[in-house]
Amino acid sequence: MASTFTCLDYHVVFSTKYRKPSIQEALRQELYQYLGGIVRAEHGCLREIGGMPDHLHLLVGIPPTIAVSDAIRVFKTNSSKWVNERGDQIGKFQWQPGFAAFTVSVSQREVVSQYVRNQQEHHRQRSFQEEFLGLLKRHQIEYDPKYVFEQEHVG
């Protein structure tokens, strides 16, 4: 019997490249299912997933044998490859570089799960940028605003 016991849940947030609304309704549920498969393949547990056309929230358990950044890199890389191989997207589907990840205690799991599940409601009142900066502030993460949101360069 193993003698290592962990419960490592994270609230993970990342957006599409330049926050373009690339996750349309026709893609959303299949993408969520595919991401669930990726998480399971990495021996994780997808507890909740939700989002908007320009970003995703995951409440995910990640095993102690994989670094959070490595797990999220696999989630993003494999899912964007899958979306692009489908061939039904207009243009190339990409995730932004980077992400935000916050630890979640068991006592707060249901609260975060509801938050992730109710993204449509949250975004009637605030933009993704407002939400993201609010999460960084709430978790006392210092940041330089010029590095938070990648801007598309035209010309």
Domains and CATH numbers, the chain: 9-108+117-147 (3.30.70.1290)
- Please write the tens of the pLDDT for every residue from 6-55: 899 999 999 999 999 999 998 999 999 999 999 999 999 999 999 999 99
pLDDT of residue 146: 84
The helix or strand, by DSSP H or E, that contains position 52, with its residue range, turns out to be strand 45-52
Degrees, nearest 5: CA angle 80-146-122: 60
- For the beta carbon of residue 10, count every other beta carbon within 10 angstroms: 22
Q: Are 149 and 19 within 8 A, CB to CB? A: yes
- Please write the tens of the pLDDT for every residue from 77-118: 999 999 999 888 788 999 999 999 999 999 999 999 999 999
